Structure 1
Amino acid sequence: MKRDHGPVLPGEGATDYARYMRTDTLLALQRDPADMVHRDELLFQVVHQSAELWFKLAVAELTEAAARIDDGELAEAELLLGRAALAVRLVSDQLDMFRHLPPATFQALVPVLGNGSGAESPGWKQAQAASRRLDQAFAAYRAAHGIDLRRLYTGNPADPVYRLAEAMVEWDERVALWRVRHYKIAIRIGSHGEIGTQGSPANWLAKLIDHRFFPDLWRARTGLTDAHPTADEHPDPAVTAGAGA
């Protein structure tokens, strides 16, 4: 008797893979080639649409991490933040595809974009909100346990609170690196206007590069550096002794 290997899952698609992954819907989300003003519309949409998916995953991890902090499960929150940081790194890496998008080609795409802007990305907006929620959860945990960040950073790096703080810094840094890559690519393809021009999106994007979700963590690190004298402020004793001889 011949065994039937056909799909068993409900939904559209010729196979269970297609039905579970919803590939028919996913692959139909890009503009039809007949409607494209340039074939690179496919490149442009795929990069942005996949970025939205990675941000969706990152937001889910950040949201769960905040909940774990609320429950005192710091190690679990740290692992989730590592996943979120990797997701945004992949968003950054795929921006390299825009190196294959000449400025003239992008200008040909501008009319079909309407007033669309990356600033309107729902995934990015949700990542911002989830990062703020994470910051609030960690601040509440520190307050409840009397944790001083300066003391934390002079303590044991194996401390679960220390490791969680480092995971948060990693997320913050990965987002900053994504912003830098985004900014450089945008200037390269001419999509954000000339740097220095009043009202230019390039200026707006440049200002965001230095934004930090967790400023308290960065200030604590800077405070430790400021607390130690530099080489100029703390000269070599041998040199000092020689000067006084």
Structure 2
Amino acid sequence: MKHDHSPVLPGSGATDYARYMRTDTLLGLQRSPGEVIHRDELLFQVVHQSAELWLKLAAAELAEATARVAAGELLVAEALLVRAALAVQLITSEMEMLRYLSPVDFQAIQPALGKGSGAESPGWRQVQVASRQLGRAFDAQLAHRGVAAADLRPVDLSEPLHRLAEAMVEWDERVSLWRVRHYQVALRIGGHPPAGTPGSPANMLAKLAGHRFFPELWQARTQTTTDE
């Protein structure tokens, strides 16, 4: 008996996998061999385009976590934050691919980038907005429960509010590690002078590495260490 593997989904593509995943469009988003000015543009684009997809997912998880926090569903929000943090961990790991891009090669690619900068990443901007919204929802939940952020010490992790606070710290840390890796890559392949050098683009990257979305939760952990 012959099996009919012809696609049943609408859209372009020879198979249902291609149609659902939109692989024709996805794989056509990179510059073609006739357009590139350096072969490593493919490496550079794949790393950054895949990062945009993971950031899109992370922002969606954060948005849903925010809604769950507002509804008092803290354990569900925690699970969503864990997923968002893993997405950022993955884009941090994939930056290892850029270790194979030399400063000379990167300089050859730069004309193709125009004035583009990672600071213009739409995925990163969505993540920033979503993180701030999560922080506001969390603060509202604390106020509703009559709990101060300073009391959220990682002692009793059976309590959903404490577990969520830990997940938020984990998210903050994963974002910070990503920024640190970005900074190191900028030094390694971008040829930027290190932070502290006047006019170096690395100055802003180094400054952002210390930023926290939820500083009060970090302060609570510091207070715990001090008290003990």
| TM-score bracket for this pair, using the shorter chain length | over 0.9
Q: Which amino acid aligns with 1:83?
A: R
Q: Secondary structure at the match of 1:142?
A: helix
The answer on whether the counterparts of 2:68 and 2:77 sit within 8 Å (CA) in structure 1 is yes
From the CA coordinates, give the structure whose radius of gyration is larger.
Answer: 1
Distance in 1 between residues matched to 2:154 and 2:114, nearest whole Å:
52
Distance in 2 between residues matched to 1:125 and 1:92, nearest whole Å:
17
Alignment of 1:8-157 (within 5 A): 8-153=8-153, 155-157=155-157
Aligned to 1:186: 186
After the TM superposition, which segments of 4 or more aligned residues of structure 1 sit over 6 Å from their partners? Answer: none
Q: CA deviation at 1:152?
A: 3.1
Q: Which amino acid aligns with 2:164?
A: L
Distance in 1 between residues matched to 2:209 and 2:151, nearest whole Å:
28
Q: Which amino acid aligns with 2:225?
A: T
Distance in 2 between residues matched to 1:211 and 1:223, nearest whole Å:
19
Q: Secondary structure at the match of 2:173?
A: helix
Distance in 1 between residues matched to 2:198 and 2:159, nearest whole Å:
48
TM-score by length of 2: 0.96
- Seen in structure 2, the aligned counterparts of structure 1 residues 109 and 193 have a Cα distance that, compared at 3 Å, is farther
Distance in 2 between residues matched to 1:193 and 1:178, nearest whole Å:
20
Aligned to 1:242: none
Q: Which amino acid aligns with 1:183?
A: Y
Q: CA deviation at 1:195?
A: 3.6
Q: How big is each residue's C-alpha offset from its partner over 1:141-197, in whole Å with a ceiling of 9 and x where there is no partner?
A: 000100123333175221000000000000000000001111101100025455433
Q: Secondary structure at the match of 1:38?
A: coil
The answer on whether the counterparts of 2:154 and 2:162 sit within 8 Å (CA) in structure 1 is no
Q: Secondary structure at the match of 1:33?
A: coil
The answer on whether the counterparts of 1:84 and 1:171 sit within 8 Å (CA) in structure 2 is yes
- Seen in structure 2, the aligned counterparts of structure 1 residues 48 and 20 have a Cα distance that, compared at 3 Å, is same
The answer on whether the counterparts of 2:152 and 2:217 sit within 8 Å (CA) in structure 1 is no
Aligned length: 228
Asked if residue 219 in structure 1 is aligned to residue 219 in structure 2, the reply is: yes
Distance in 1 between residues matched to 2:151 and 2:164, nearest whole Å:
15
- Seen in structure 2, the aligned counterparts of structure 1 residues 100 and 211 have a Cα distance that, compared at 3 Å, is same
- Seen in structure 2, the aligned counterparts of structure 1 residues 72 and 199 have a Cα distance that, compared at 3 Å, is same
Q: Secondary structure at the match of 1:124?
A: helix
Distance in 1 between residues matched to 2:163 and 2:147, nearest whole Å:
14
- Seen in structure 2, the aligned counterparts of structure 1 residues 153 and 205 have a Cα distance that, compared at 3 Å, is same
Q: Which moved more, 1:19-28 or 1:152-161?
A: 152-161
Q: How big is each residue's C-alpha offset from its partner over 1:40-95, in whole Å with a ceiling of 9 and x where there is no partner?
A: 00000000000000000000000000000000000000000000000000000000
Q: Between the two proteins, what is the percent identity of the paired residues?
A: 65
Aligned to 2:198: 198
Q: CA deviation at 1:222?
A: 1.4
Q: Secondary structure at the match of 2:210?
A: coil
Q: CA deviation at 1:201?
A: 1.3
The answer on whether the counterparts of 1:106 and 1:191 sit within 8 Å (CA) in structure 2 is no
The answer on whether the counterparts of 1:157 and 1:163 sit within 8 Å (CA) in structure 2 is yes
Unaligned runs of 5+ in 2: none
The answer on whether the counterparts of 1:187 and 1:193 sit within 8 Å (CA) in structure 2 is yes
The answer on whether the counterparts of 2:82 and 2:167 sit within 8 Å (CA) in structure 1 is yes
Q: Secondary structure at the match of 2:34?
A: helix
Cα RMSD (Å) of the superposition? 1.4
Distance in 2 between residues matched to 1:83 and 1:120, nearest whole Å:
24
